[in-house]
A = this chain, B = another copy of it.
């Protein structure tokens, strides 16, 4: 059409994408000790230094725990069945809020137009739909492929 390529809607950034792959790898190795970022970066062909940033966010969100030093690495903070795709996305990309007037949890009052706003319904319904979809998938379910787990330390 125009000279500018139309971007895509609801695109999840590399933070969400890489982070999800990282978490699935960790889930594969669940119960076998820690896995180093180096191993994950190699296996998934991702920039290791960048993964450090992402895993920091996951740790702060209480989804993974790290162990320093030689033979160290990361592991899930709880069992794969207890972590949802929603948990991962929220930790890396923030709360699911199509619009400020549809913030998760809070009874937000930011919007002055609330009363007769015909569009509020759209974003509220959308928010609920996204959250429901992501919260309905656990890491345990995503691991159901034939790929073997990474070597643990």
Contact = CB atoms under 8 A, between A and B. Distances in A.
A9 B125 contact: no
A10 B130 contact: yes
Interface of A: 1-2, 6-12, 16-17, 20-21, 24, 28, 60, 85, 89-90, 93-100, 103, 110, 116-119, 121-123, 125-130, 132-134, 137, 141-147
Number of copies: 2
A117 to B, nearest CB: 8
A41 to B, nearest CB: 15
B126 A133 contact: yes
A111 B153 CA distance: 30
A94 B9 contact: yes
